[in-house]
Amino acid sequence: MTDDYPDLLGVEWRFPRVAWEEPEPTHAVDERLALVALSARAAGLAPEVVLRAWPFLDRAAADRPQRSVVREVRRALGVAAQLIAEAPWTTGPGLVTVAADDDGTRRVVPTPGWEGPDRNRIVGYLASASAVGLTDTALDVSWLPLELAATNPPTEDAPRLDPAEFMFMGSAEGPGRIRLWRYKHTATRAYLNLDAECWPWRYQAGSRTYSPYDDPAAALAPLQPAKTVDRPDIRQ
């Protein structure tokens, strides 16, 4: 893979791994979840880590202040996150695809046969993601809706979610073939069903269907353990 880019790639350089754990997701909606998660991961990188990607981007501005360089590299990593997230789907312009190394490692690579003035720029974006290890730790798509809901509560006073308190119970399909992720709280045994927008849905046992909550906070209330009431010690 590296022979076509001698000016950009070093001996140990590799294209970035795909974003998710095996098995590969079968729903294109996972692209959005992967993009959000990868963008958040890139935004959280320390400046010294971000600067590892600088050699693969525009080298003409090497004399710029470090803060400006870090800001520009973060923007490039955002583009890389989008490319990596859309690699296996047909939703993007087809600039990248997925290919396996000799050892079977699946990586995001430029689409074979595609030529254009921005080809080296695409390679640079992918190289920057690899340099900072953006996908060295794979995303577990099964948990992304819950993790995103935990970091973005619907209201300021909504109960906070702790993903460690849940079990993943598989996926379901709502009206219009909307994909839902089902989680079960380990203490209350209550279910939380989330779509790709992290919006909660209720299961209606009578019709065996799902419907979205009008108020997302109402879906969180059953997840809270019952409060215990402190009673005075009458033995004294």
- Look at residue 3 and tell me whether its pLDDT is greater than 90: no
Q: Does 133 share its domain with 51?
A: yes
Q: Does 173 share its domain with 90?
A: no
Higher pLDDT, residue 235 or 98: 98
Rounded to the nearest 5 degrees, what angle is found at the Cα of 208, between the Cα atoms of 207 and 211? Answer: 85
**Residue ending a domain, choose from 139, 166, 195:** 139
**Residue ending a domain, choose from 115, 139, 163:** 139
Q: Does 133 share its domain with 212?
A: no
Domain ranges, residue 40: 30-139
* Least confident piece of the model among 60-74, 135-149, 194-208: 60-74
Cα 190 from Cα 117, distance rounded (Å): 54
Q: Does 109 share its domain with 191?
A: no
Q: Does 158 share its domain with 113?
A: no
Q: Does 117 share its domain with 95?
A: yes
pLDDT of residue 138: 85
In a domain, 153, yes or no: yes
Q: Does 129 share its domain with 149?
A: no
pLDDT tier for residue 25 given thresholds of 50, 70 and 90: low
* Least confident piece of the model among 76-90, 161-175, 185-199, 202-216: 76-90
Peptide bond connecting 23 to the previous residue in cis, omega within 30 degrees of 0: yes
In a domain, 47, yes or no: yes
In a domain, 168, yes or no: yes
Cα 147 from Cα 80, distance rounded (Å): 22
Q: Does 175 share its domain with 119?
A: no
- pLDDT tens digits for range 124-153: 899 999 999 999 988 888 888 998 888 887
In a domain, 171, yes or no: yes
In a domain, 148, yes or no: yes
In a domain, 78, yes or no: yes
The total domain count for the chain is: 2
Q: Does 39 share its domain with 122?
A: yes
Q: Which two tokens stand for residue 100?
A: 């396996």
Tell me how long the chain is. 236
- Look at residue 193 and tell me whether its pLDDT is greater than 90: yes
Residues 136/41, Cβ–Cβ less than 8 Å: no
In a domain, 190, yes or no: yes
Q: Does 50 share its domain with 130?
A: yes
Average pLDDT, the chain: 81
Higher pLDDT, residue 28 or 74: 74
Peptide bond connecting 117 to the previous residue in cis, omega within 30 degrees of 0: no
Q: Does 44 share its domain with 129?
A: yes
pLDDT tier for residue 211 given thresholds of 50, 70 and 90: very high
In a domain, 158, yes or no: yes
**Residue ending a domain, choose from 96, 117, 139:** 139
DSSP H or E segment with residue 145: helix 144-151
Q: Does 66 share its domain with 112?
A: yes
Residues 48/163, Cβ–Cβ less than 8 Å: no
Q: What is the residue type of 60?
A: A
For the chain, how big is the Rg over CA atoms in Å?
22
